[in-house]
Structures are given as structure tokens and as C-alpha cells.
Amino acid sequence: MRILFCLLLTLCSLRGAELTVVSLSPALTELICFLGKESVLAGRSDVCSYPESVKKLPVAGRFAVPFTEKILSLKPTLLVTNDLVNPGVKVNFERAGIRTLQLPCRSLDEYRKCVEILGKELDAREAASREIKRIDALRNKKVIRKNVRILWVIWDTPLMTPGRRSHLHEVISLAGAVNATGEFDQEYLRPSFDTLLKKKIDVIIWSASSSGWKQRRVWQKFSAVKNKRVLAEFDQDTLLRPGPRLKEGIEKLEKILDSWSQK
């Protein structure tokens, strides 16, 4: 009875409250800020790091893993996340009056939908409309094709690369290059080194945490490593996160590829 009474008090206190948001997705946190609504953020995940100002917000979870007590203490009216490791927690939050939106954001299509939804939820329709036009222009732009094959190393132990259904395949294509593992009709895969060594690989984009291409002898067999065409020292979040900075990231990648091709 006491629990029910406390729950009713919580619901009454939240009813009519101003919109406050906890975001457990780096891409969605960026988007909320980009739409001019950073002021509604009450908490973030431990990997939400852009813009710099969001680092001042309380950490209310890991990516897709909410810290329930912390979120309840922040009293948001809305929780946004790409996914939930434990879908059952959504019921608990909504019982406490916290609406929970799961918004997948793994491609430009899904990012566009996130813009539409959050534009309505945050009363930022004009900003969302401008961003949708920008997304559509990026997707429909005339791409100058380059004779460059890119191997994108997401993890090196075990080795993981993007297939045709991945967001990174789309990024590579928009930059005018070819995904070296794009013939595989899946999101991500674990190819063997034997398979990769048979391919023409001009550039390696390295997203793994270690600098394994320097430490493991097998990588020295790749022409991209021999020719010092390994791209690791730049802000890859602009490419890895389908979000407002994606256009900027693709343009930067294009410039790097163009500069290398001219040498």
C-alpha cells in the first residue's frame, strides 16, 4: 500500500511538469543539442561526450544501460535511448511517469526518423525540418567516385569490419570510396586475414582501441600499412555516430582521401 501511495505521489508531481530528458545515446544527445534543446537535458550516458558542455551533466547510465536509481532521482519526464539491454526496465520507468523512447540510430534512414520524432517531442520542428533537408541533400549529393578501397577495422581482437548493411558502408560510399568488405550482405563480419590479404586495400580506417597495425606483424603485409595509409588520428565519432556531425566527417574523409591520391 505504501509503495502504491509513493508511486501516486510521483505521478502527481510529474504530471504537468516541464519537459526534462535523460539521453543514453551519444548520437541522440548530440541531436538534442543540435536542435537547440540542450537546456532540457537532465542526464546523459557515460559515453555522451559532445558537445563539450554535456560532460557537466550527471551520468545516468551506460549506453543502453540505465542507472535506475539515478534516473529516478533526476525526475525526467522523458528517457531516450537507442536500445535497452534489459527491455523490462522500460515498464518500471513508465510506471514512475517517465516516458521511454527507444530510437534506433544505426543508419541515415534511422537518423532521419530520429530527427522527425525528436523535433516533435522537443517542440523543435523548424530546426528538425532544416536538419532533414540537410540529411536529404547529403544522401542525394553527386558523389565523385574514387578508385580507393577502404578496410574499416572496428575491432582488431577479434577482427571486425563492416558489411553492406552497416552504417559505415554508407559512409564509405558517400565519401566516394569502396568498402573492402562490402560484398558481404550483413551488418558486421569477422573476416580472416587470408581473405583480406587477397584483396586490394588502399586505406585502412582504424577504430580499434589499440594501435594493432603497428604491433602485429600480419598488418605489415597490407599495402595500406606499407604506404602509411592508416587513418586513426582524427575524431572518428563524426563518422561512427549517425548524427549532426556526419556531413562534416564525410567531407573531412573525402579531403584526406583526395590528398593521399595526389601524392
Look at residue 165 and tell me whether its pLDDT is greater than 60: yes
From 106, 138, 170, give the residue that closes a domain: 138
- In the chain, % helix, strand, coil (3-state, to 5) comes to 45, 15, 40
**What is the C-alpha separation between 112 and 105, in angstroms, rounded?**
9
Is 22 among the domain residues?
yes
User: Are residues 75 and 170 both part of a single domain?
Assistant: no
Our count of domains for the chain comes to 2
The answer to whether the CB of 204 falls within 8 A of the CB of 225 is: yes
Q: What is the CATH number of the domain that holds 155?
A: 3.40.50.1980
Residue whose C-alpha cell is 556531413: 247
Q: Which residue has the higher pLDDT, 22 or 234?
A: 22
Last residue of a domain, one of 138, 173, 195: 138
In a domain, 185, yes or no: yes
Window from 55-59, 84-88, 99-103 with minimum mean pLDDT: 84-88
For residue 2, being part of any structural domain is answered with: no
* Same domain as 238, residue 166: yes
Residue 4 lies in a domain: no
Confidence at 100, pLDDT banded by 50, 70, 90: very high
Rg (CA), the chain: 21
Mean pLDDT score, 80-94:
91
> Could you report the per-residue pLDDT of 231-258, keeping only the tens digit for each?
998 788 999 999 999 999 999 999 999 9
- Read off the pTM: 0.88
3: in domain: no
Same-domain pairing of 68 and 104: yes
* Full domain range(s) for residue 159: 149-261
For the chain, report the end-to-end CA distance as a whole number of angstroms.
75
